[in-house]
A and B are shown apart, each in its own frame.
Chain A
Amino acid sequence: GAGVSQSPSNKVTEKGKDVELRCDPISGHTALYWYRQRLGQGLEFLIYFQGNSAPDKSGLPSDRFSAERTGESVSTLTIQRTQQEDSAVYLCASSPEPRLERRFGAGTRLSVL
Protein backbone atom coordinates (compact mmCIF):
# COMPACT_ATOMS: atom_id res chain seq x y z
CA GLY A 1 0.00 0.00 0.00
CA ALA A 2 0.93 3.62 -0.19
CA GLY A 3 1.12 4.25 3.52
CA VAL A 4 1.81 2.63 6.87
CA SER A 5 -0.97 0.22 7.73
CA GLN A 6 -1.92 -0.78 11.26
CA SER A 7 -4.36 -3.39 12.46
CA PRO A 8 -6.70 -3.66 14.13
CA SER A 9 -7.85 -0.05 14.10
CA ASN A 10 -9.65 -0.63 17.39
CA LYS A 11 -9.17 -3.28 20.05
CA VAL A 12 -11.21 -3.76 23.20
CA THR A 13 -9.88 -6.30 25.68
CA GLU A 14 -10.32 -7.36 29.26
CA LYS A 15 -7.76 -6.65 31.94
CA GLY A 16 -5.22 -9.47 32.13
CA LYS A 17 -5.54 -10.58 28.51
CA ASP A 18 -2.69 -10.45 25.99
CA VAL A 19 -3.00 -8.35 22.84
CA GLU A 20 -1.01 -8.22 19.61
CA LEU A 21 -0.90 -5.14 17.41
CA ARG A 22 0.37 -5.22 13.85
CA CYS A 23 2.20 -2.70 11.69
CA ASP A 24 2.90 -2.95 7.96
CA PRO A 25 5.47 -0.28 7.08
CA ILE A 26 5.90 1.32 3.70
CA SER A 27 7.79 -1.05 1.41
CA GLY A 28 11.52 -0.36 1.44
CA HIS A 29 11.48 1.58 4.70
CA THR A 30 14.27 0.21 6.87
CA ALA A 31 13.41 2.11 10.03
CA LEU A 32 10.27 1.33 12.05
CA TYR A 33 9.06 2.95 15.27
CA TRP A 34 6.32 2.31 17.79
CA TYR A 35 4.81 5.11 19.87
CA ARG A 36 2.04 5.29 22.43
CA GLN A 37 -0.33 8.22 22.86
CA ARG A 38 -2.60 8.41 25.87
CA LEU A 39 -5.75 10.54 25.67
CA GLY A 40 -4.85 14.21 25.55
CA GLN A 41 -1.13 13.51 25.82
CA GLY A 42 1.87 13.73 23.50
CA LEU A 43 3.58 10.75 21.88
CA GLU A 44 5.74 8.40 23.95
CA PHE A 45 8.51 6.53 22.15
CA LEU A 46 8.39 2.78 22.75
CA ILE A 47 10.78 0.93 20.44
CA TYR A 48 12.80 1.40 17.25
CA PHE A 49 13.95 -1.10 14.61
CA GLN A 50 16.62 -0.35 12.01
CA GLY A 51 17.44 -3.05 9.50
CA ASN A 52 19.09 -6.04 11.12
CA SER A 53 20.50 -4.08 14.06
CA ALA A 54 19.42 -4.82 17.61
CA PRO A 55 16.27 -2.84 18.35
CA ASP A 56 16.30 0.18 20.67
CA LYS A 57 13.89 -0.90 23.41
CA SER A 58 14.62 1.99 25.75
CA GLY A 59 11.06 3.31 25.66
CA LEU A 60 9.22 0.11 26.59
CA PRO A 61 7.44 0.86 29.89
CA SER A 62 7.61 -2.65 31.38
CA ASP A 63 8.52 -6.23 30.61
CA ARG A 64 4.89 -6.85 29.67
CA PHE A 65 5.65 -5.02 26.41
CA SER A 66 7.63 -6.62 23.60
CA ALA A 67 7.94 -6.15 19.87
CA GLU A 68 9.30 -8.08 16.94
CA ARG A 69 10.07 -7.28 13.36
CA THR A 70 10.77 -9.75 10.59
CA GLY A 71 13.53 -8.32 8.41
CA GLU A 72 12.37 -5.02 7.01
CA SER A 73 8.70 -5.89 6.92
CA VAL A 74 5.88 -6.41 9.37
CA SER A 75 6.22 -5.63 13.06
CA THR A 76 4.07 -6.80 15.95
CA LEU A 77 3.77 -5.14 19.35
CA THR A 78 2.64 -7.51 22.09
CA ILE A 79 1.28 -6.45 25.45
CA GLN A 80 0.91 -9.25 27.98
CA ARG A 81 -1.49 -9.21 30.94
CA THR A 82 -2.98 -5.88 29.86
CA GLN A 83 -3.79 -3.26 32.47
CA GLN A 84 -6.24 -0.36 32.27
CA GLU A 85 -3.27 2.05 32.16
CA ASP A 86 -2.31 0.46 28.81
CA SER A 87 -5.37 2.03 27.20
CA ALA A 88 -4.05 4.37 24.50
CA VAL A 89 -3.55 4.77 20.78
CA TYR A 90 -0.52 2.83 19.60
CA LEU A 91 1.12 4.43 16.57
CA CYS A 92 3.61 2.92 14.17
CA ALA A 93 5.86 4.93 11.86
CA SER A 94 8.45 4.07 9.23
CA SER A 95 11.09 5.94 7.27
CA PRO A 96 13.49 5.05 4.44
CA GLU A 97 16.36 5.66 6.82
CA PRO A 98 16.52 7.15 10.32
CA ARG A 99 17.46 10.67 9.28
CA LEU A 100 14.45 11.14 7.04
CA GLU A 101 10.96 12.09 8.04
CA ARG A 102 8.68 9.45 9.50
CA ARG A 103 5.41 8.38 7.96
CA PHE A 104 2.81 7.42 10.54
CA GLY A 105 -0.03 4.95 10.44
CA ALA A 106 -3.50 5.79 11.71
CA GLY A 107 -2.86 3.88 14.92
CA THR A 108 -4.59 1.15 16.94
CA ARG A 109 -6.89 2.38 19.67
CA LEU A 110 -6.59 -0.05 22.59
CA SER A 111 -9.19 -0.03 25.33
CA VAL A 112 -8.61 -2.22 28.38
CA LEU A 113 -11.74 -2.76 30.42
Chain B
Amino acid sequence: DAKTTQPPSMDCAEGRAANLPCNHSTISGNEYVYWYRQIHSQGPQYIIHGLKNNETNEMASLIITEDRKSSTLILPHATLRDTAVYYCIVRVASGNTPLVFGKGTRLSVIA
Protein backbone atom coordinates (compact mmCIF):
# COMPACT_ATOMS: atom_id res chain seq x y z
CA ASP B 1 0.00 0.00 0.00
CA ALA B 2 1.88 3.04 -1.28
CA LYS B 3 1.79 6.07 0.99
CA THR B 4 2.47 8.53 -1.80
CA THR B 5 0.49 10.19 -4.56
CA GLN B 6 2.09 11.16 -7.86
CA PRO B 7 0.68 12.35 -11.18
CA PRO B 8 0.58 9.46 -13.67
CA SER B 9 2.47 11.29 -16.39
CA MET B 10 4.35 14.47 -17.26
CA ASP B 11 6.10 15.93 -20.27
CA CYS B 12 9.22 18.06 -20.21
CA ALA B 13 11.15 19.77 -23.00
CA GLU B 14 14.74 18.68 -23.41
CA GLY B 15 17.14 21.03 -21.61
CA ARG B 16 14.48 22.37 -19.30
CA ALA B 17 14.07 21.53 -15.63
CA ALA B 18 11.73 18.66 -14.83
CA ASN B 19 9.84 19.13 -11.57
CA LEU B 20 8.15 15.96 -10.34
CA PRO B 21 5.75 16.40 -7.41
CA CYS B 22 4.88 13.88 -4.73
CA ASN B 23 2.33 14.08 -1.94
CA HIS B 24 2.93 12.14 1.27
CA SER B 25 0.55 13.73 3.73
CA THR B 26 0.67 10.81 6.20
CA ILE B 27 4.45 10.69 6.46
CA SER B 28 5.77 9.90 9.95
CA GLY B 29 8.55 11.75 11.69
CA ASN B 30 11.07 8.96 11.17
CA GLU B 31 10.23 8.28 7.52
CA TYR B 32 12.50 9.39 4.71
CA VAL B 33 11.48 10.32 1.18
CA TYR B 34 13.23 8.22 -1.47
CA TRP B 35 13.17 8.63 -5.24
CA TYR B 36 13.90 5.88 -7.74
CA ARG B 37 13.43 5.75 -11.48
CA GLN B 38 13.00 2.96 -13.97
CA ILE B 39 14.05 3.36 -17.55
CA HIS B 40 12.31 1.06 -19.99
CA SER B 41 13.47 -2.58 -19.74
CA GLN B 42 15.90 -1.82 -16.91
CA GLY B 43 15.80 -2.35 -13.15
CA PRO B 44 14.98 0.59 -10.88
CA GLN B 45 17.77 3.08 -10.19
CA TYR B 46 18.22 4.98 -6.94
CA ILE B 47 18.23 8.77 -7.37
CA ILE B 48 18.16 10.56 -4.03
CA HIS B 49 16.61 10.56 -0.57
CA GLY B 50 16.05 13.00 2.28
CA LEU B 51 14.41 13.49 5.66
CA LYS B 52 13.56 17.17 6.00
CA ASN B 53 16.40 19.20 4.53
CA ASN B 54 16.71 19.78 0.82
CA GLU B 55 19.21 17.46 -0.81
CA THR B 56 21.26 17.65 -3.99
CA ASN B 57 23.51 15.18 -5.76
CA GLU B 58 24.90 14.73 -9.23
CA MET B 59 21.59 13.46 -10.57
CA ALA B 60 18.92 15.64 -9.00
CA SER B 61 17.70 17.90 -6.23
CA LEU B 62 15.04 17.03 -3.68
CA ILE B 63 12.93 19.79 -2.16
CA ILE B 64 10.85 18.81 0.87
CA THR B 65 8.22 21.20 2.22
CA GLU B 66 8.54 22.42 5.78
CA ASP B 67 5.58 20.32 6.93
CA ARG B 68 7.07 17.32 5.04
CA LYS B 69 3.73 16.51 3.47
CA SER B 70 5.01 16.89 -0.06
CA SER B 71 8.23 17.00 -2.02
CA THR B 72 9.52 17.76 -5.49
CA LEU B 73 12.25 16.00 -7.42
CA ILE B 74 14.07 18.36 -9.75
CA LEU B 75 16.10 17.25 -12.75
CA PRO B 76 17.80 20.57 -13.59
CA HIS B 77 18.46 19.97 -17.29
CA ALA B 78 16.39 17.06 -18.54
CA THR B 79 17.76 14.96 -21.39
CA LEU B 80 16.08 12.33 -23.56
CA ARG B 81 17.79 9.68 -21.42
CA ASP B 82 15.84 10.89 -18.39
CA THR B 83 12.63 9.52 -19.91
CA ALA B 84 11.51 6.97 -17.32
CA VAL B 85 8.97 6.19 -14.62
CA TYR B 86 9.85 8.03 -11.41
CA TYR B 87 8.83 6.56 -8.06
CA CYS B 88 8.48 8.51 -4.83
CA ILE B 89 8.59 6.29 -1.74
CA VAL B 90 8.43 6.99 1.98
CA ARG B 91 9.88 4.57 4.51
CA VAL B 92 11.89 4.46 7.68
CA ALA B 93 15.61 4.38 7.04
CA SER B 94 16.32 1.72 9.65
CA GLY B 95 14.95 -1.76 10.02
CA ASN B 96 13.89 -4.13 7.31
CA THR B 97 10.85 -2.39 5.90
CA PRO B 98 10.84 -3.02 2.17
CA LEU B 99 10.43 -0.36 -0.48
CA VAL B 100 6.79 -0.10 -1.55
CA PHE B 101 6.57 1.12 -5.11
CA GLY B 102 3.39 2.77 -6.35
CA LYS B 103 2.50 3.54 -9.96
CA GLY B 104 4.97 6.44 -10.21
CA THR B 105 5.09 9.27 -12.73
CA ARG B 106 5.95 8.52 -16.34
CA LEU B 107 8.20 11.40 -17.43
CA SER B 108 8.58 11.92 -21.16
CA VAL B 109 11.39 14.24 -22.19
CA ILE B 110 10.64 15.70 -25.60
CA ALA B 111 13.20 17.00 -28.08
Instruction: List residues of chain A with CB under 8 Å of any chain B CB.
Output: 4, 31, 33, 35, 41-45, 48, 50, 53, 56, 59, 91, 93, 98-99, 101-107
Contacts and interface: CB of A to CB of B under 8 A. Distances in A.
Q: How large is the interface on B (under 10, 10 to 19, 20 to 34, 35 or more residues)?
A: 20 to 34
B43 A45 contact: no
Looking at B46, B97, B98, B101, which has the most chain A CB atoms within 10 Å of its CB?
A: B98
Given A42-B104, A104-B43, A107-B43, A98 B94 contact: yes
B49 to A, nearest CB: 7
A107 B101 CA distance: 16
Given A42-B102, A43-B101, A50 B96 contact: yes
Contacts of B2: 42
Nearest to A3: B43
Contacts of A105: 43
